[in-house]
Amino acid sequence: MTLPLLAHSIAARMAQVPGVVAVSLGGSRARGNASPDSDLDLGLAYDAPQPFDLTALNALCRDLDDSGTAEATPPGGWGLWVDGGAWLTVGGQRVDFIYRELGRVEQSVEDALAGRVSLHAQPGHPHGIHGHHYAAELATGVILHDPSGRLEGLRVRLGGYPAALAASLERHYGWQPGFWLDGAAKGLKRGDVHYAQGCLYQAVMAFVQTLCARERAWILNEKGAVALAGTLPGTPHNFEARVNLALTALDVDAVRNLAAELG
């Protein structure tokens, strides 16, 4: 896989910001399945006791951004789990800076290795973010700058997709589709479409989590998760298309049929 030259050039400049410990490339660009209009996601790793220089980062954002107006949030500005960052356009390419506090990345790796499953509310993520999310990013990302070797050391410790995590996720989500689907059917019966929609969505995400855990496939977030699950062995035929049709039509029975095929 050939990495975008822009990722390397921006990472080199981010590395000059005081307090930036490491820089990594994430998302579809790192996984090699990006579309032409995909964002360039760059993770900025820092230590909470000695955070990065926000003034210097903002100066860099304005210098890089085509409009000269991009501004970075303080840590925590986008919520506990996304943390913070900045949205830029550089030479016509959308670029996202996303913060990652290294102490929390270390904890995420420990959670993944121990098979601890926790789900946390986060704006922008209707399913939520799991405690092992940062470990998933580390496993699927590309490290661009890591002079201390801390990110690479954590990736080596993670060692791939932990068996304990796969087993825990399958236990946690394997029974849930039927429960959510019963809720969706009850909601539709009383005309509560909003509730039924939410239940159907959660049923599908429970499918996706179960399928990906069985095949040791990391899920980064909800975006593209159904498409990812559809590529895995053992997934029901035409999974993505059938999910899309069922959700559009609020067809509980169609999702139940998928559940029966999942086994």
Inter-CA distances, 14 with 11, 52, 121, 246, Å:
5, 10, 29, 44
DSSP single-letter state for residue 162: -
What mean pLDDT do residues 84-111 have? Answer: 97
Quick one: pLDDT at residue 23? 98
pLDDT at 3 (0 to 100)? 67
Quote the CA–CA distance of 29 and 35 in Å, as a whole number: 8
Task: Supply φ then ψ for residue 214, to 5 degrees.
Answer: -60, -35
**Predicted local confidence at residue 2, as pLDDT:** 59
Pairing relationship of beta strands 40-46 and 142-145 according to DSSP bridges: unpaired
Cβ–Cβ < 8 Å for 75, 101:
yes
N-to-C CA span, the chain? 36
The pLDDT tens digits of the residues spanning 100-136 come to: 999 999 999 999 999 999 999 999 999 999 999 999 9
Token reading at 243: 């999910």
Q: State the Cα–Cα distance between residues 208 and 205, nearest whole angstrom.
A: 5
| E runs forming strands in the chain | 22-26, 40-46, 85-90, 93-101, 119-122, 125-130, 142-145
pLDDT tens-digit map of 120-179: 999 999 999 999 999 999 999 999 999 999 999 999 999 999 999 999 999 999 999 999
Q: What is the pLDDT of residues 225-241, one digit of tens each?
A: 999 999 999 899 999 99
Domain boundaries, the chain: 5-158, 163-262
Q: Write down the pLDDT at residue 115.
A: 98
Percent of the chain at pLDDT > 70 equals 99
| 1, pLDDT greater than 60 | no
Amino acid (one-letter) located at 86: A
Can you give the pLDDT at residue 186?
Answer: 98
What is the C-alpha to C-alpha distance for residues 52 and 46, in angstroms, rounded to an integer? Answer: 6
Q: Which residue blocks in 115-238 are alpha helix, DSSP H? A: 133-140, 150-158, 163-174, 176-189, 193-214, 225-230
In tens, the pLDDT along 40-72 reads 999 999 999 999 999 999 999 999 999 999 999
Task: Give the pLDDT confidence score for residue 90 in this predicted structure.
Answer: 96
Q: Reply yes or no on whether the pLDDT at 262 is more than 90.
A: no
Rounded to whole angstroms, the Cα distance separating 42 from 194 reads 35
Kindly give, in sequence order, each residue whose CB lies less than 8 Å from that of residue 44, ignoring residues fewer than 6 positions away: 14, 17, 20, 23, 52, 57, 85, 97, 98, 99, 100
Rounded Cα distance between 154 and 149, Å, is 9
The verdict on domain 5-158 having CATH code 3.40.50.300 is no
